[in-house]
Amino acid sequence: MSATAASPDAARLLAEAIAGHFPDTRGRFGPFGGRYVPETLIPALERLERGVREHLHTSDFEKELGAQLSGWVGRPTALTFAPRLSSHWGANVWLKREDLAHTGAHKINNAIGQALLARRLGARRIVAETGAGQHGVASAAACARLGLPCIVYMGEIDMERQAPNVGRMRLLGARVVPVVSGDRTLRAAIDEALRDWVSDPLGTYYLLGSAVGPHPYPYLVRELQSVIGREARAQMLAAAGKLPDALIACVGGGSNSIGAFHAFVPDEAVELIGVEAGGRGAGLGENAATVAYGRPGVLHGTYSLLLQNTDGQIQETHSVSAGLDYPGVGPEHALLAASGRVRYETASDAEALEGVRQLSELEGILPALESAHALVGAARWAQAHSGGTVLICLSGRGDKDMSTLQRTLLTAERA
């Protein structure tokens, strides 16, 4: 069942999405979202929801967060025109440089915001999950900044392929706990973080890294990451004198993409495109393309699109990029797909690796493997829209992926 088929009234959902009516009071994004958790977590989620309402958009919280974003994170991040890539593709290519944010990716926007909120709510310790390691590094850095103990759960497989980030987390004072159960990647790490939170739901704050999970997390993460789109929109108007014809971002759980898209959703002339991890192919277990191949179901406390078999069992995923290796997608993305406001495509492992090569060689910018999926989508769009203007959310830098790139791109060169 596709995302579009899941929606009985796509036109209504589109109108309401453009009007900014989601989530509703139940934490629903149209038919998606909600809160499906054990009873032991309900008080903690209700407490968090009250905290979000009471603090997130107050002037004093926004001032405190703004000071951290400008003085510590390094916002606003740059908008960079890519002249050689533009010439190569035949379109005007702009990059929103989240790779230049402190710790190397967009994840820090959410991490520092939630850590500030956790401190206001009286949390004594922070738990977090991570896949590619960037959210773990961001959480560790934010907790160090605010003097909060931090525990990061990370799948054993991801710890092996993202070893530099494991070292960074430990240097920043976090305790990194390897997860050896389940698929030993991001899904299993979220499972373990939730179990930890259940054991102490009031003294512990779960700093969730993507726009997934039970309400209010998809809303909270979107609000904290929407700084990306707000900045990019203003920067495009200032630098190019107009909005882009298309905005493209990679999609795993969906935090960088929902942050980039949100400010542009009402701009119907701007085409929004999310690019998922097509991995090795279309079969279950060969990719992490949830919107492309998923069906509605419940995972990690929310109703959204999931990669599952005919019996409803969640399937293991594959992607060359650890940060996209998740069998679900945030409920707001499911809504945007169902309404037709955002088009979702896939990029294969091989295409993403080529995207890394092109941006590195043509612009001197080494992108994260996750971000390289967006480059693939942008190259396709440019081929079909000669002379158009495309904005790419460059979600992170590729230093963390060097071990993977050594085994793939650089090994192929030596051969």
Q: How far is CA 73 from the centre of its chain?
A: 17
Say whether both 216 and 264 belong to one domain. Answer: no
Each residue's pLDDT tens digit, 75-134:
999 999 999 999 999 999 999 999 999 999 999 999 999 999 999 999 999 999 998 799
Cβ-based neighbour number of residue 266 at 10 Å: 12
Last residue of a domain, one of 221, 249, 267: 221
User: Please, what is the angle between helix 59-68 and helix 107-120, to 10°?
Assistant: 130
Q: What pLDDT band is residue 214 in, cutting at 50, 70 and 90?
A: very high
Q: What pLDDT band is residue 4 in, cutting at 50, 70 and 90?
A: very low
Catalytic residues: 107, 129, 395
Q: Say yes or no to pLDDT of 412 above 90.
A: no
Residue 179 lies in a domain: yes
The pair of three-digit structure tokens given for residue 217, joined into one six-digit string: 């997390």
Say whether both 211 and 230 belong to one domain. Answer: no
CATH number at residue 98: 3.40.50.1100
Residues of the domain holding 253: 74-105+225-414
Alpha carbon separation from 49 to 18, 64, 120, 165, 277 (Å, rounded) = 24, 20, 13, 31, 32
Residue 147's pLDDT is: 98
Whether omega before 216 lies within 30 degrees of 0, making that bond cis, reads yes
Residues 327, 300: Cα–Cα separation, whole Å: 11
Say whether both 242 and 197 belong to one domain. Answer: no
Say whether both 166 and 276 belong to one domain. Answer: no
Q: Which amino acid is at 251?
A: V
Q: Say yes or no to pLDDT of 19 above 90.
A: no
Residue 9 lies in a domain: no
Cβ-based neighbour number of residue 26 at 10 Å: 9
Say whether both 165 and 229 belong to one domain. Answer: no
The pair of three-digit structure tokens given for residue 51, joined into one six-digit string: 């905290």
Q: Say yes or no to pLDDT of 207 above 50.
A: yes
Q: Nearest 5 degrees, angle CA 21-CA 7-CA 292?
A: 105
Q: What is the mean pLDDT of residues 19-29?
A: 92
Residue 264 lies in a domain: yes
Could you identify the residue written with the tokens 């900014």? 20
Say whether both 137 and 214 belong to one domain. Answer: yes
Structural contact between residues 292 and 283, judged by C-beta atoms closer than 8 angstroms: no
What's the alpha-carbon Rg for the chain, to the nearest Å?
20
- Residue 249's DSSP bridge partners are 274
Structural contact between residues 164 and 399, judged by C-beta atoms closer than 8 angstroms: yes
Say whether both 296 and 384 belong to one domain. Answer: yes
Residue 21's pLDDT is: 83
Each residue's pLDDT tens digit, 375-394:
999 999 999 999 999 999 99
Residue 23 lies in a domain: no
SS (H, E, C) the chain: CCCCCCCCCHHHHHHHHHCCCCCCCCCEECCEECCCCCHHHHHHHHHHHHHHHHHCCCHHHHHHHHHHHHHHHCCCCCEEECHHHHHHHCCEEEEEEHHHCHHHECHHHHHHHHHHHHHHCCCCEEEEEECCCHHHHHHHHHHHHHCCCEEEEEEHHHHHHCHHHHHHHHHCCCEEEEECCCCCCHHHHHHHHHHHHHHCCCCEEEECCCCCCCCCHHHHHHHHHCHHHHHHHHHHHHHHCCCCCEEEEECCCCHHHHHHHHHHCCCCCCEEEEEEEEECCCCCCCCECHHHHCEEEEECCEEEEECECCCCCECCCCCCCHHHCCCECCHHHHHHHHHCCEEEEEEEHHHHHHHHHHHHHHHCCCECHHHHHHHHHHHHHHHHCCCCEEEEEECEECHHHHHHHHHCHHHHHHC
Each residue's pLDDT tens digit, 44-83:
999 999 999 999 999 999 999 999 999 999 999 999 999 9
Say whether both 88 and 124 belong to one domain. Answer: no
Q: What is the mean pLDDT of residues 196-200?
A: 92
Structural contact between residues 76 and 231, judged by C-beta atoms closer than 8 angstroms: yes
Say whether both 248 and 113 belong to one domain. Answer: no
Q: What pLDDT band is residue 1 in, cutting at 50, 70 and 90?
A: very low
* Tally of domains in the chain: 2
The pair of three-digit structure tokens given for residue 231, joined into one six-digit string: 């900045």
Q: Say yes or no to pLDDT of 339 above 90.
A: yes
Last residue of a domain, one of 165, 196, 221: 221
Say whether both 253 and 320 belong to one domain. Answer: yes
- Residue 111's DSSP bridge partners are none
Sign of CA dihedral 103, 105, 106, 107: negative
Residue 414's pLDDT is: 60
For the ranges 6-20, 331-345, 371-385, the lowest mean pLDDT is seen at 6-20
Residues 98, 411: Cα–Cα separation, whole Å: 28
Sign of CA dihedral 374, 379, 381, 382: positive
Could you identify the residue written with the tokens 């119907």? 268
**Mean pLDDT of the residues in the chain:** 94
